[in-house]
Amino acid sequence: MAPWNIGAQTPDEFLIHQFHLNSPVVLAKRAEQAVARGGMGRLLGCCGRTLYWCPACQAKPAANPADSYRYNGQNHVANRPRVRGYCFSIFPESAFILMSSFDLSDTTRDDAPGFRRIDWIALKLIAVWGALAAAALLVMPKFFLPAEDAAILFQYSRNLAHHGLISYNAAGPRAEGATDFAWMALLSLGMKLGLDPFWLIALINCACLVMLAVLVLKIAGQPLRSLALLFIMGAFALMPQIFAAASGFSVLPFECLLALLAWSFLNENDVAAPLVGLVLCLFRPDGVVFAVPLLLAALLVYPRRGRRLLLDVLLFVLPGFLYFLWRWHYFGEFLPLPFLVKSNAERVAHILVLSSLHGGAVSTLFVAVLLALALRGRLRQTRNLTLLLCLIVLPDLFYFSMRLDQNIGHRFFGYLPAAAALLPAANWES
């Protein structure tokens, strides 16, 4: 094995090379050095002018550190690396290592690995669209009117805020026309504080669009960088559901809660998952289609089943049961109104509603192709199959069997673009 020499003058004289700190080769060299120096080991890092053997790739670099060379398809250069990793710089008489992380998002040149100029142009255009979409959501109430169902919800929220009654008429009978209970209560609270509901929704939509991008990056394990945030916001804003959000519907808050539920599931958070699932169901009654399968899947997939089951009962089942008892007493109906009204429709094979199938099939096909290309063989992994079943397959079967009224911008299928972002993020590597 070739000897190495670390008698360099400055760290800048070393070539930068990406490798893992726990590499077996590096660990072996650390042990050898610790013995040779009487326990004062020195970490070896990158190939340099006087270092002619690299412990990471065992490749000899160019004699001049300013020259670049290729190894395993990567460019190793003397200046800042173009790939995400760790920059190890060795000081001549120090037993420490200087470690700093560089990220691809800091790179704006078109010569970055895997990126062409057209890729950077598309990325930045979508990021610009994300910023414009957020700004447009904020000013939408000045130029547009809410959709019909959204305006009806405002009326219910107004009566709840000013008269303490869930009814369309101020002095009318109790009626469950506003099925998004938590959404109605949130708007009612805003009205109680003197806020216009449409402007309040604009603020909530903008905040949820940003939060969606944050959650996707958190699930992917990536740092929060402005370019990445704006790009993800722009990608969501390219979906037709953005028009439903701008019309006053709770699409973006619902997607945000769904992403938070997926994050809780992936992080095995047995407290957050049932709480977020409960809020999701209160926001829209069809949230149960996502919350219950994911909570059951967590019981089957993850350990500590006894503790998880107890928390699910205390934080999800019991509060949900009490809510249903209250609404049964208040409205005289145990099930939400959409489950009673929208189940009455003309069906194919006594199961599928043709209009709903036509509205969601194209989106489902698009997501299926996207995930097949992005994940390839990884869809067979247990975690990915669980997310695929709970976020796409089971919800599709439910919505295809329901009559979807006022489906502006395919708002009921807003879970599909969310799933298309969450699944690749959960498998993100570089």
147 and 210 share one domain: yes
Q: With respect to residue 268, please indicate whether it lies within any of the assigned structural domains.
A: yes
Residue 361 lies in a domain: no
Q: Are residues 98 and 121 in the same domain?
A: no
136 lies in the same domain as 189: yes
One domain, residues 248 and 134: yes
93, part of any domain: yes
> Are 212 and 85 in a shared domain?
no
If one counts the domains in the chain, the total is: 2
Answer yes or no: do 125 and 50 share one domain. no
Residue range(s) defining the domain that contains residue 173: 117-337
Report the 10 Å Cβ neighbour count for 36: 11
Are 215 and 317 members of one domain? yes
The tens digit of pLDDT for each residue in 272-324 reads 999 999 999 999 989 999 999 999 999 999 989 999 999 999 999 999 999 98
Same domain, 156 and 218: yes
Q: Which residue has the higher pLDDT, 81 or 121?
A: 121
Q: Is 160 among the domain residues? A: yes
Residue 36 scores a pLDDT above 60? no
Final residue belonging to a domain, choices 337, 368, 390: 337
Residue 229 above 50 pLDDT? yes
Considering the domain architecture, whether residues 66 and 187 belong to the same structural domain is answered as: no
Predicted confidence at residue 339, as pLDDT, reads 66
Q: Does a structural domain hold residue 411?
A: no
Q: What is the model's pLDDT at position 25? A: 57
Q: What is the pLDDT of residue 376?
A: 81
**Which has the minimum average pLDDT: 32-36, 47-51, 220-224, 363-367?**
47-51
Q: Assess contact for 141 and 246: CB atoms under 8 A.
A: no
- Give domain status of residue 16, yes or no: yes
Question: How far lies 402's CA from each of 109, 133, 348, 393, in Å?
Answer: 49, 31, 12, 15
Residue 64 lies in a domain: yes
Q: What is the pLDDT of residues 242-268, one digit of tens each?
A: 999 999 999 999 999 999 999 999 999
Residue 104 confidence (pLDDT): 32
- Asked if residue 57 has pLDDT above 70, the reply is no
pLDDT (0 to 100) of residue 43: 35
162 in the same domain as 86: no
Q: To the nearest whole number, what is the mean pLDDT of the chain?
A: 77
Answer yes or no: is pLDDT of 184 > 70: yes
Among 290, 309, 337, the domain boundary falls at 337
Assess if residue 5 is contained within a domain.
no
pLDDT score recorded for residue 343: 64
- 223 and 147 in a single domain? The answer is yes
Residue 356 has pLDDT above 80, yes or no: yes
Q: pLDDT exceeding 70 applies to what percent of the chain? A: 71
Residues 61 and 183 in one domain: no
Last residue of a domain, which of 337, 355, 389? Answer: 337
